[in-house]
Amino acid sequence: MAVGACCTEIQQRRVELVENYSEHLTRLLDILFNVGAVTEEDLSLIRGSAVRGERECMRLLLDVLNGRGEESCRAFLYILQSVQGETTKPEQAKKQEHLKKHKDILARQHSLVDYLSIRGHNLGQDETWYLTDITFSRQAGYALPSQCRHESAGVGDAFRTRTDEICVFRDLYENLLSKLSSGVNMLSGVAGSGKTTVVRRLVREWAAENTSSKIVLSLSFRELNLITQEQSLQDLLSDHYIHLKPFLHELLSSNPPKFLLILDGLDEFCYPLNFEHTPKCSNPERVQPIQSIVVNLIKGILLPGVSIFLTSRPHAVSKVPPVLVSQFYSLLGFSLAQQKQYFEQNCSSPEAAAAVWASVSSHKPLLLMCHIPAFCWIVSTALHDGGSCLCPDSVSAKSGEKGVLENANQPNSSLGPSEVLLSSKPVTITEIYCCFVKSIVLFHVQGRSEGSHHTRLQHAPHVLGEMQPILKSLGAMAFKGLLERRFIFESSDLSSFNLDSTKISQVFLFEILKEDRASLTFEKGFHFIHTSVQEFLAALYYVLQSLSGSDPFLGLKPSTGQYLQSAFKQMASAFNKFGKPRRLFRRRIKKALRCGVQHQSGHMDLFSRFVCGLLVPRTRLILNGFFPDGPKMHLLRCQPSPDPTPPFLLHLLHSQLQSSTLSPERQVNVCHCLYEAQDPGLSQRLQDWMKVLSQQAPGQSGSLNRDWSELAFLLQLSSDVQVLNLDAQGLDADGLRRLLPVLPLFSTLSLGQNPLGSEGASVLSLVLRNPDCRIQRLWVVATGLGCEGLKILVEALKENHTVTDLRMAINKIGDDGAGYLAELLRTNCTLTDIRLRDNLVTDKGAEVLMAALKENTTLEYLWMFDNKFTKDGVKKLKEFAKTRPNLDIKVCV
Ligand SMILES: Nc1ncnc2c1ncn2[C@@H]1O[C@H](COP(=O)(O)OP(=O)(O)OP(=O)(O)O)[C@@H](O)[C@H]1O
């Protein structure tokens, strides 16, 4: 083929083009791509070599153009002219243009489309509309958290401390982008709580704004992991932001406070951070290891005055010493109102949203998990369309499309008295995840338009059977990742599990497995949309293998070729024949549960819960067609499978619970496992708890060692307990914190004779401020509140509108405490009854209270026996009482 004139010109001018135009590479690539002279693959290839520098990229571009032929070369030469024109513009204007381009590029890199596009939203300009506002807490600095449980357990108010304040995205945004902001601002949040979404939103809103004086730079630790050679900060940034290169040196050396540097995902950083012994380096041009750059940035030695926004999951927060953190934010997740709003924004119709919300709000375990946005997404996918297989009264059924499994999920009458367990909707977390996977396989993979909802449900067993190999391989990879604590997979991982990444892309990408491209190297990486999905698929694989009589650990070996694999299989099945399959099966399940117990970090907690859930035949029915022992078709049309939960599983879990070596956190997880296994004895366990609590004689509290998390869990399952009496149970502030998720839900909370102190009062203040608080009677007699604790309580009561009855005898509140109460009584219109016996209040305190009561008309009882009043004081109080016939004041000397 004859070489055209433009191709030849490019070859002849190669050296000059590299010399003069490398710095315009980004712009050139953008335009060339827009006019179709290069493809997306070309872009990836060229940008992929960015680590070797701009000039190398430019050479590659020239090679690519050569390969693409005359037309592309002509386009390139034409574009050069316009770029040439730009080089003559004045410096300042050029700088502005580069910054504008920087904003555009950053906004594109931080688009929100990944998951929003799944719902088929047409994202116009205002894509943030689809984001639900989320609640944060903020405090100066942070204290090291104790973390031994699955992080998803630590959401909502359970994360809060006494000194923090509540805020929303806007507050965070304004704080970080304010001129005065500097130092390290850290955002901590559990997996899937929305940290990256916050980062994306922040970058996009900044890019759309014209007035901000800050320049945002954003890097993820996932990308920094790929830097294996020593580098300078300046090179790192100019490789990452080629378009800023001409000004970077000047910007970095003249005005670091102008920058907001975002570092996302500290928990994923694979290099150790040594804050004590890393050599100091303040020169951005000096070459050093990547971890030293990070340490020097965080310590404020490199780029002094720069603002850093660091995000991390809670377990990795402590990698940065508390003294270096100026503001600490926690993502508390969605409040109840925000959860509701999420479903309204993300379900296809108001009716669908209402049905999903009705289902979620009636099951406390679901409700608690829905603090986490990623879980809301899973739940809405599961219940919104896939859930109709299980929910006869959900939306699609209402609209006339009855689910095929409609009858298969009659109330689980054999499950025991618990109201929760009797429900006919998917209530266990395992059932939700089964619906999620089924929903994706049925309604998303096959294309939304093919066949009606009803037809697709009818073909579900067939489709699930077909998808089984791919789900199984995905599950094996997920399981291997879990064992190795790996959450990011490379293309080579996929192929070692016989997974074809293009096929996966068509089928699951966005829905289950997300593809990421590191912007430094453009290498592909994959991670499950949420770690809980990884844990579910791992459990699915584990149970499938175990039920098929295969060892789940065998399937993890890298692909060893067809022949060897089948030889392996034959050996395993021969071994199984000799080795009593049932015994082997049980041993394997035991092994899976041990995984959960052994990992103190809690990272296998959900995995073991899912394994338990999937061992329940009724739950497996949702994925009928996937498992080898799938229920026969006739069962789908009549009564549910009569098989109960395997007794050996319940026996195993109960014996784990009895183990004296089990830590409280693991104990709670075993409770969760029992819930997933639909244990009929759970409600009995709650009753046993109640019995123990009611039998506890006062005075023995010191010797008690209760697992309050377990009680909290059991209480979540029961909606009918209104009164929580924990008098004299040795309950301290820490125990109270563990009960936090359920405390607001009782009408009477009796906590007398426990060593709560002012710390406990702080926990109570969170309960009283909770918008869902239902407490009417708060009894905190002899709980060591003191004046300090009372002050905290009073502040919270000023905002609370539910408590009518406050009993707080024997708390040594003194006259100062009486003063705080008086302050409260001036504005509070809810309290009708206050009992203040034996609280060291003197005549002075009584005077203050009487003055305040002149402004209060709602209080009906004020009992103040055994305080330090003089005869004169008592007389005055009695006289005052005569002026208030509707108020019963009781005193004695
Ligand atoms: N404010 C929000 N409104 C709506 N959906 C949200 C919001 N925040 C997060 N999500 C949803 O939750 C998913 C997980 O969010 P994101 O990836 O930001 O979590 P993360 O905390 O960074 O998780 P990880 O620690 O696993 O990296 C998102 O893909 C999105 O579906």
pLDDT at 275: 94
Say if residue 73 is in the same domain as residue 159.
no
For residue 35, the enclosing domain spans: 5-88
Say if residue 240 is in the same domain as residue 153.
yes
In which order are the strands placed within the sheet that holds 307-312?
165-167, 135-140, 325-333, 183-188, 307-312, 259-264, 215-220
Report which protein residue has its CA nearest ligand 1's atom 13: 374
Residue 636, amino acid: L
pLDDT at 594: 75
For residue 527, the cross-strand partners are 514
CATH number assigned to the domain comprising residue 732: 3.80.10.10
Question: Tokens 């618990």 map to which residue?
Answer: 418
Which ligand 1 atom minimizes the distance to the CA of 264? 22
Helix (H/G/I), strand (E/B), else coil: 890: strand
Q: Between these two residues, 222 and 123, which has the higher pLDDT value?
A: 222
Average pLDDT (95-115) is 76
pLDDT at 301: 92
pLDDT at 84 over 80: no
Answer yes or no: are the C-beta atoms of 768 and 775 closer than 8 Å: yes
Report which protein residue has its CA nearest ligand 1's atom 29: 115
Report which protein residue has its CA nearest ligand 1's atom 10: 373
Residue 119, amino acid: R
Which ligand 1 atom minimizes the distance to the CA of 373? 12
Answer yes or no: are the C-beta atoms of 439 and 383 closer than 8 Å: no
List of residues 6+ apart from 882 with CB closer than 8 A: none
Helix (H/G/I), strand (E/B), else coil: 670: helix
Helix (H/G/I), strand (E/B), else coil: 662: coil
Ligand 1 pocket at CB < 6 A: 115, 131-132, 134, 189, 191-197, 265, 313, 342, 373-374, 377
Which ligand 1 atom minimizes the distance to the CA of 529? 29
Distance 377 CA to ligand 1 centre (A): 9
Domain count, the chain: 3
Q: Between these two residues, 851 and 564, which has the higher pLDDT value?
A: 851
Q: What are phi and psi of 233, to 5 degrees?
A: -60, -40
Answer yes or no: are the C-beta atoms of 779 and 750 closer than 8 Å: yes
Q: Got the DSSP string for 297-365? A: HHTT-SSTT-EEEEEE-GGGGGGS-GGGEEEEEEEEE--HHHHHHHHHHHSSSHHHHHHHHHHHHT-HH
Which ligand 1 atom minimizes the distance to the CA of 331? 21
Residue 506 burial by Cβ neighbours in a 10 Å radius (0-12, 13-18, 19+):
exposed
pLDDT band at 814 (very low <50, low <70, confident <90, very high): very high
Domain-located, residue 133: yes
Of the listed ranges 61-75, 287-301, 350-364, the one predicted with least confidence: 350-364
Query: Which tokens in the block code for residue 58?
Result: 């430019």
Report which protein residue has its CA nearest ligand 1's atom 16: 194
Average pLDDT (704-725) is 75
Answer yes or no: are the C-beta atoms of 149 and 601 closer than 8 Å: no
pLDDT at 403: 29
Say if residue 169 is in the same domain as residue 308.
yes
Distance 121 CA to ligand 1 centre (A): 17
User: Which residue of 114, 133, 196, 263 sits with most ligand 1 atoms within 8 Å of its CB, as the best mutation to test the pocket?
Assistant: 196
Distance 136 CA to ligand 1 centre (A): 14
Distance 191 CA to ligand 1 centre (A): 8
Q: Between these two residues, 255 and 541, which has the higher pLDDT value?
A: 541
> Residue 184 belongs to what H/E stretch?
strand 183-188
User: Which residue of 132, 135, 197, 332 sits with most ligand 1 atoms within 8 Å of its CB, as the best mutation to test the pocket?
Assistant: 197
Distance 338 CA to ligand 1 centre (A): 14
Report d(CA 749, CA 724) in Å as an integer.
Answer: 5
State how far the alpha carbon of 598 is from the alpha carbons of 316, 595, 651, 655, in Å.
Answer: 20, 5, 19, 15
State how far the alpha carbon of 121 is from the alpha carbons of 114, 117, 128, in Å.
Answer: 11, 6, 12
Of the listed ranges 74-83, 210-219, 633-642, the one predicted with least confidence: 633-642
Say if residue 77 is in the same domain as residue 119.
no
Say if residue 173 is in the same domain as residue 30.
no
Domain-located, residue 705: yes
Say if residue 145 is in the same domain as residue 267.
yes
Residue 805, amino acid: D
Answer yes or no: are the C-beta atoms of 522 and 466 closer than 8 Å: no
Distance 379 CA to ligand 1 centre (A): 14
Residue 371 carries which DSSP code?
A: T
Of the listed ranges 93-97, 538-542, 870-874, the one predicted with least confidence: 93-97
pLDDT at 630 over 70: no
Which ligand 1 atom minimizes the distance to the CA of 200? 18
Report d(CA 153, CA 156) in Å as an integer.
Answer: 9
Q: Got the DSSP string for 391-414? A: -TTSHHHHTT---TTGGGG---GG
Half-sphere exposure of 147 (CA within 13 A, CB side): 20
Residue 254 burial by Cβ neighbours in a 10 Å radius (0-12, 13-18, 19+):
exposed
**Strand pairing report for 135-140 and 165-167:** antiparallel
Helix (H/G/I), strand (E/B), else coil: 774: coil
Evaluate the CA torsion angle 34, 39, 41, 43 in order and state its sign. negative
Which ligand 1 atom minimizes the distance to the CA of 487? 26
Distance 154 CA to ligand 1 centre (A): 16
pLDDT at 834: 96
Query: Which tokens in the block code for residue 408?
Result: 């298969």
Distance 513 CA to ligand 1 centre (A): 14
Say if residue 80 is in the same domain as residue 124.
no
Which ligand 1 atom minimizes the distance to the CA of 527? 26
Say if residue 778 is in the same domain as residue 856.
yes
Report which protein residue has its CA nearest ligand 1's atom 14: 192
Q: Between these two residues, 461 and 663, which has the higher pLDDT value?
A: 461
Distance 375 CA to ligand 1 centre (A): 9
pLDDT at 874: 92
Distance 836 CA to ligand 1 centre (A): 48
Answer yes or no: are the C-beta atoms of 320 and 186 closer than 8 Å: yes
pLDDT at 125 over 60: no
Residue 570, amino acid: Q
Q: Got the DSSP string for 532-588? A: HHHHHHHHHHHHHHHHTT--TTGGGSPP--HHHHHHHHHHHHHHHHHT-HHHHHHHH
pLDDT at 509 over 60: no
Distance 605 CA to ligand 1 centre (A): 21
Report which protein residue has its CA nearest ligand 1's atom 6: 373
Identify which of 438, 493, 429, 432 has the alpha carbon closest to the alpha carbon of residue 460: 438
Distance 198 CA to ligand 1 centre (A): 8
Say if residue 71 is in the same domain as residue 182.
no
Report which protein residue has its CA nearest ligand 1's atom 28: 374
3-state secondary structure 454-476: HHHHHCHHHHHHHHHHHHHHHHH
Distance 443 CA to ligand 1 centre (A): 23
pLDDT at 819: 96
Average pLDDT (430-450) is 77
Q: What are phi and psi of 166, to 5 degrees?
A: -90, 140
Distance 333 CA to ligand 1 centre (A): 10
Domain's final residue, options 302, 333, 364: 333
pLDDT tens track for 143-167: 654 433 444 444 444 444 445 678 8
Average pLDDT (362-390) is 75
pLDDT at 392: 37
Q: Between these two residues, 753 and 228, which has the higher pLDDT value?
A: 753
Distance 112 CA to ligand 1 centre (A): 10
Distance 175 CA to ligand 1 centre (A): 21
Report d(CA 193, CA 370) in Å as an integer.
Answer: 10
Report which protein residue has its CA nearest ligand 1's atom 12: 374
Answer yes or no: are the C-beta atoms of 757 and 786 closer than 8 Å: yes
Residue 365, amino acid: P
Domain-located, residue 345: no
Which ligand 1 atom minimizes the distance to the CA of 197? 18
Share of the chain above pLDDT 90, in %: 28
> Residue 760 belongs to what H/E stretch?
helix 757-769
pLDDT at 696: 55
Count of beta carbons in the 10 Å neighbourhood of residue 44: 13
pLDDT band at 539 (very low <50, low <70, confident <90, very high): very high
Distance 374 CA to ligand 1 centre (A): 5
Report which protein residue has its CA nearest ligand 1's atom 4: 131
Domain's final residue, options 281, 300, 333: 333
Q: Highest mean pLDDT: which of 31-35, 368-372, 472-476?
A: 472-476
Q: Got the DSSP string for 684-726? A: HHHHHHHHHHHHPPTT-GGG----HHHHHHHHHH-S---EEE-
Mean pLDDT of the chain: 79
Say if residue 177 is in the same domain as residue 52.
no
Q: How far is CA 425 from the centre of its chain?
A: 24
Domain's final residue, options 284, 316, 333: 333
For residue 260, the cross-strand partners are 216, 307
Half-sphere exposure of 289 (CA within 13 A, CB side): 12
Report which protein residue has its CA nearest ligand 1's atom 30: 374
Say if residue 760 is in the same domain as residue 700.
yes
Which ligand 1 atom minimizes the distance to the CA of 372? 12
Which ligand 1 atom minimizes the distance to the CA of 132? 3
pLDDT at 581: 66
pLDDT tens track for 2-51: 678 888 888 888 888 887 788 788 888 888 888 888 888 888 888 877 66
Report which protein residue has its CA nearest ligand 1's atom 15: 194
Which ligand 1 atom minimizes the distance to the CA of 131? 3
> Residue 380 belongs to what H/E stretch?
helix 373-384
> Residue 72 belongs to what H/E stretch?
helix 70-87
Residue 838 burial by Cβ neighbours in a 10 Å radius (0-12, 13-18, 19+):
middle
Report which protein residue has its CA nearest ligand 1's atom 25: 191
Counts of helices then strands in the chain (DSSP H, E): 40, 16
Report d(CA 403, CA 542) in Å as an integer.
Answer: 29
pLDDT at 661: 72
Distance 169 CA to ligand 1 centre (A): 14
Residue 644 carries which DSSP code?
A: -
Report d(CA 481, CA 496) in Å as an integer.
Answer: 13
Count of beta carbons in the 10 Å neighbourhood of residue 183: 14
pLDDT at 555 over 50: yes
pLDDT band at 173 (very low <50, low <70, confident <90, very high): very high
Residue 489 carries which DSSP code?
A: B
Helix (H/G/I), strand (E/B), else coil: 117: helix
Domain-located, residue 101: no
Distance 202 CA to ligand 1 centre (A): 13
Identify which of 31, 28, 102, 98 has the alpha carbon closest to the alpha carbon of residue 59: 28
pLDDT at 585 over 60: yes
Q: What are phi and psi of 312, to 5 degrees?
A: -160, 155
Helical axes 245-254 vs 233-240, angle rounded to 10°: 140
Average pLDDT (219-226) is 86
Query: Which tokens in the block code for residue 675?
Result: 């819930």
pLDDT at 421: 32
pLDDT tens track for 281-336: 999 999 999 999 999 999 999 998 899 999 998 878 889 999 999 999 988 888 88
CATH number assigned to the domain comprising residue 203: 3.40.50.300
Identify which of 254, 264, 304, 256 has the alpha carbon closest to the alpha carbon of residue 281: 304
Report which protein residue has its CA nearest ligand 1's atom 18: 194
Flag whether the ipTM exceeds 0.90. Answer: yes
Report which protein residue has its CA nearest ligand 1's atom 24: 191
Domain-located, residue 574: no
Report d(CA 431, CA 791) in Å as an integer.
Answer: 46
Helix (H/G/I), strand (E/B), else coil: 728: coil
Query: Which tokens in the block code for residue 820?
Result: 């705080």
Share of the chain above pLDDT 70, in %: 77
Say if residue 707 is in the same domain as residue 815.
yes
Question: Tokens 């990011």 map to which residue?
Answer: 488
Report CA dihedral (63, 64, 68, 70) to the nearest 10 degrees: -40
Q: What are phi and psi of 889, to 5 degrees?
A: -100, 125
Of the listed ranges 55-59, 230-234, 658-662, 848-852, the one predicted with least confidence: 658-662
Which ligand 1 atom minimizes the distance to the CA of 169? 1
Domain-located, residue 14: yes
